[in-house]
Amino acid sequence: MESLLPFEKTERKILVRKEAETSDKFGCKPEERQTEEIINYGIVNIDKPKGPTSHQVSDYAKKILNINKAGHSGTLDPAVTGVLPIALGRATRIVQTLLTAGKEYVAIMHLHKEIEEEKLKKTIQNHFIGKIEQMPPLKSSVKRQLRTRTIYYLDILEIDGKDVLFKVGTEAGTYIRKLIHDIGKKLGIGAHMAELRRTKAGPFDESTLFTLHELTDAYYFFKEEKNEKFIRKIIQPVENGVKHLPKVWVFDTTVESLCHGIDLKVPGISKLHNNINHNDIVAIMTLKDELIALGIAKMTSKEMLGEKGIAVQTEKVFMLPGVYKIANNL
């Protein structure tokens, strides 16, 4: 059975509270935005190379695209490679949501002595799946205190002598180097991390990876040769950064008030995902699948199918006011 992060296992169905259509006079589908807007309000999934820090890679992307700001979702050590989603321009506010999403890594653990495969697998299964306790390493950006993290799965892919290739799905904030050290300690033989690559960060995986060189070339083709094809392939709409979240879709006439930070009330909802629980982070969307805001659910899905009350407390607004302003007068 394929190992999946928690949100990948969740089967979401759409519940219709009240059928509605959206007017083509307001907004547009995310994939139909102008290229300049996508560059200033999108996400690029960079294949981080060895050497630079995550911050440096983010800064390179900002300079390549000639934009004011860019932010990465989850720090990778300079020697670590792989999935590094970078939010561009106005999309940088999405980063916090991605920081808390699950991560997947492929690593090589070098054991200090050879050991029976069965003992290794049994130790991992009994002590390193589910809730574990970790002390952040000396070189870390967080306070050094014991904290609990969840290991969703740890699959051994190959063993070659003292080298163990494995895939691990973890809660955000899990230190893989420390995990490997602790496995070695539990085995009584010691171990250290030889290689590490991130293969998933929330909804982003290796299928949409591009290098900084490819980003540079795509921007050149766009600016110098007026060819949008490559830059539009590389930069994804900001909405792709909330694929892992439950969603609520609202009527055109509800959008403008949300853009001003007003909480979402039940009468403004057209449809929603099932399985929404109290205090879940929820993405509030237009009927064209544009991201309006992120909020905290104050009701369950079942309660949102009712007639009144505050359904979602608006926390972080993404859509600029005015896009659906005239819709209120229809």
Q: Are 273 and 244 in contact (CB under 8 A)?
A: no
Cβ-count burial 145-169 (b if 16+ within 10 Å, e if not): eeeebebbbbeeeebeeeebbbbbb
Selection from 187, 197, 188, 222 nearest residue 81 by Cα: 197
Amino acid identity, position 208? T
Residues noted as catalytic = 77
- List Cα–Cα distances, 1 to 4, 69, 129, 183, in angstroms: 9, 41, 16, 24
Among residues 324, 217, 233, 294, the alpha carbon closest in space to that of 44 is found at 233
Residue type at 304 in one-letter notation = M
Strand, helix or coil for residue 189: coil
**DSSP-derived secondary structure letter, 320:** P
CB 328 within 8 A of CB 258: no
- 274: CB partners within 8 A, 6+ apart: 12, 13, 14, 15, 301
